[in-house]
Structure 1
């Protein structure tokens, strides 16, 4: 009798995340012979995952909550799921899934864990006194999670990896660097060459959810500078408000954007290929990223890119070769970079061509998923040494 396939659970704080960023991984795991299922709050994307043939176990978690009772409920809900499903390996995405998932794995127990750090949040990066105190208080918990036995910590950029190592929250032997979730380079293919030709007015694309840390305000200020200088350009905003994020723009902010005569709010765009193809330049001056999927998609489409010199953005763009980097929260620098590309369309085309070559070499989804499946094979092949101590919560 052949052995039963290893059962793996992919866990995130939204079904939206798993569908939009990890669907190719789910498919590749299934093709590799794993019994693969998902754990996430049920939302409008749950049915799409189910239509792909994947079971989605519900998780009672609120993305932005800090209510102790709700957080304990989220933890215990994962413990119940892990004890019921008895997976061989769990793969956590986003920080709450990493924290609560690792504790739940210890309680269940699940002996093999991958924690994917998709970006460092305000707890690690904030400078306010309250945030520093919170970081200090949570440090033992983070260390327990990222130093857990039989757990691997996967980072999307080297800056985040080095930050957690320097803080003493993990060690190099437990970490791996895997470049995001990858993109399908056959899906995101460039349109017909158009070197030296921009639309009139120029089409500038901002591809992001409407949260402040993505740099929407800086982009708008830069555009206003160019409009005052007589530059003919139209700003396309492809993204929705994110009510689950504390930094989301408000409905009033969105109404103000829509009142701009040379700005088009497109909302959520399901298939970005046509929009990238119709755009002349892509701008995303994010304050920090894990690894920007939008920038990688734009690069695969050979779009010239302007982004910030911060982790998760500079990993995609090599300044002057595959795009332009500008300082953080600097609208004047964005305006100057836009002017440079507008006045030098051949440079813009060269940057776009180079950008796709970098994607082919580093960010193809096949490369990313092959590396991820290697982590699965290594962890599942390692012998299990049961821990002497284990936390066992009382579950009513």
Structure 2
């Protein structure tokens, strides 16, 4: 009998696959009867992925920068595993996984590759131009090289990223635009909110480019006139990212801004959003479409964020939120104060936030669009395709 189709999802952390791509993996299992493999470094969420029935392949991913020797070695090791598995399709998420995964898949003869650019990150932030100029140029060239392969499709989350990389690249017909990773609008939904105290929530990894410091500065300003307001940061240090706060830096931030509650990692984000008054993201990081803002919008929250690529795809100034200049804690505080004293505007913004997510970012729509990309590449393959090799023990 023919083997079921085989697909692997590759990301730089097991946390990302479990929290953001689990619905895709489960739909592949249920609707296509596919064998689903997850490729990622080991970590706390790896057993959870295996408990869902997915096969795990270990991958080495150095997220602290481009090291050609280390990355090529990781690609060669992954290629050996891919030859054993004989995948029908490899779907890579995040830039480093795209680099390693594409090289490994091409070397292993994997016939179909989908690359999902989930944001261009710090490397493409203007403030890091000097530091990242060479690796940024090399990475753009690599992505454009992948467009030449007819068995590859590249998915971007916002038009700015697509234009940045694909302009004058040729074969732009092999690029697709799919907004975000999909939000479960049944899990994240509006509810009656407590009237007091007002709560401002920022959900993010504790990266400096995410504007954590700007949020704290704005909190200190707002606190002077509205001491009852609660300021919360949900997220933890990302030790694998060179732009992360260190434990010592985080402790210094807590001491300097005692009015801000640092909650650490939370698994109850729907509840936190339902208790919140506003969602904030003063990020000057090169976002795809920020997941935290999408979840907050699905929960019916007004949004306040920095005016930047990806962010303005979900925050419409004067419609469902406010956009402020980057790295400007004073402007952020002003926007927050204006909305804190205007409940009718907050209510209108919250309704519009929910509408935008349901109509443009709902999980079902995103999964349908992703499956359409797979089908362009002929996945799943015909049932009479040659039987593939089994994984060696």
Give the alignment's TM-score, normalised by structure 1. 0.90
Is 1:232 aligned with 2:231? no
Shift of 1:230: 4.8
**Structure 1 stretch displaced more, 231-240 or 343-352:** 231-240
Residue 209 of structure 1 corresponds to 205
SS in 1 for 2:62: coil
Shift of 1:72: 2.2
Is 1:256 aligned with 2:255? no
Contact 1:180-1:290 at 8 Å conserved across structures: yes
Residue 157 of structure 1 corresponds to 158
**Structure 1 stretch displaced more, 290-299 or 329-338:** 329-338
Contact 1:14-1:40 at 8 Å conserved across structures: yes
**Structure 1 stretch displaced more, 312-321 or 258-267:** 258-267
User: Could you tell me how far apart the structure 2 residues matched to 1:77 and 1:285 are?
Assistant: 39
**Structure 1 stretch displaced more, 175-184 or 133-142:** 133-142
CA-to-aligned-CA distance 1:94-150 (integer Å, 9 cap, x gap): 111111211222211011110100111344445533422333445543332233231
Shift of 1:262: 1.6
Residue 391 of structure 1 corresponds to none
Q: 1:13 to 1:165 in 2, by over 3 A?
A: same
Q: Which structure exhibits the higher relative contact order, with contacts defined as CA atoms closer than 8 Å and separated by 6 or more residues?
A: 2
Residue 315 of structure 1 corresponds to 313
Contact 1:199-1:280 at 8 Å conserved across structures: no
SS in 2 for 1:266: strand
Shift of 1:359: 0.8
Contact 2:207-2:245 at 8 Å conserved across structures: yes
Q: 1:171 to 1:217 in 2, by over 3 A?
A: farther
Contact 2:5-2:381 at 8 Å conserved across structures: no
SS in 1 for 2:230: strand
Q: 1:146 to 1:330 in 2, by over 3 A?
A: farther
User: Could you tell me how far apart the structure 2 residues matched to 1:224 and 1:146 are?
Assistant: 48
Residue 214 of structure 2 corresponds to 218
Contact 1:64-1:245 at 8 Å conserved across structures: yes
SS in 1 for 2:236: coil
Contact 2:35-2:54 at 8 Å conserved across structures: no
Report the RMSD for the aligned CA atoms in angstroms.
2.0
Contact 1:147-1:169 at 8 Å conserved across structures: no
Residue 272 of structure 2 corresponds to 275
Shift of 1:170: 5.4
Q: 1:163 to 1:87 in 2, by over 3 A?
A: same
Give the alignment's TM-score, normalised by structure 2. 0.91
Residue 345 of structure 1 corresponds to 343
Unpaired stretches in structure 2, ≥5 consecutive residues: 383-393
Q: 1:247 to 1:170 in 2, by over 3 A?
A: farther
Residue 359 of structure 1 corresponds to 357
Unpaired stretches in structure 1, ≥5 consecutive residues: 385-396
